[in-house]
Amino acid sequence: MEIKIKNKHLNKFVLRIFKKREGFTLLELLVAVSIFGIIIGSIAGTFASVVNAHRKAIAMQNVEEAGRYILEMMGKEIRMSNANVTLNGSDTLSITNSLGTPVVYQFVNDGITRNNSPLSPSNVEVLNGEFIKETNSSPGCTKVTIVMKIKSKGTKPSLESEMNLETTMAVRQVQ
């Protein structure tokens, strides 16, 4: 490529620019692309692990919230029930609530029912559950202990969350 310019000084300058025109070699490009790929890959891996940790935390929060809901609903009614707390095996608890209505709590399949209506939310399953009745702790005082293991339902195995819960409440014997 030859460029002819009438000005001698400008001609030398233009020729020097075109002669010094340098680019990247193939090896330099390969190294740069490889380093860029490694950096992007590590960023993507970190992002994926953060997203999975967030999903796991949400699953754990859902399990905890469902367990708290179940125990609060049962606990309020059991504490305010009359004294006739009976166990039919370790998976069924019968009480008479403060309104005089008989109530039966039962661990069935993967949930808890109250008078044969589901009490546990659909996003969790109750794996193990039992009721324990204590009558000899203090005279006239009946205590009921609820023990259960709940697990998130319908998620990937790596994102599943489970929790063991136990609470004891004293029946206040409302008359």
pLDDT in tens, 2-54: 555 566 666 676 666 666 667 778 898 999 999 999 999 999 999 999 999 99
The 10 Å CB-count burial string (b at 16+, else e) for 89-122 is eeebbbbbeeeeeebebbbeeebbbbeeeebbbe
Question: pLDDT tens digits, residue range 71-83?
Answer: 998 988 888 887 5
CA dihedral 6, 8, 11, 13 (to 10 degrees): -150
**Which structure tokens are listed for 152?**
């998130």
- Give the pLDDT band of residue 174 (cuts 50, 70, 90): low
| Contact between 71 and 64 (Cβ < 8 Å) | no
**Which structure tokens are listed for 2?**
């030859």
> Which of 82 and 147 is assigned the larger pLDDT?
147
Per-residue pLDDT at 4: 59
DSSP 8-state assignment for residue 157: G
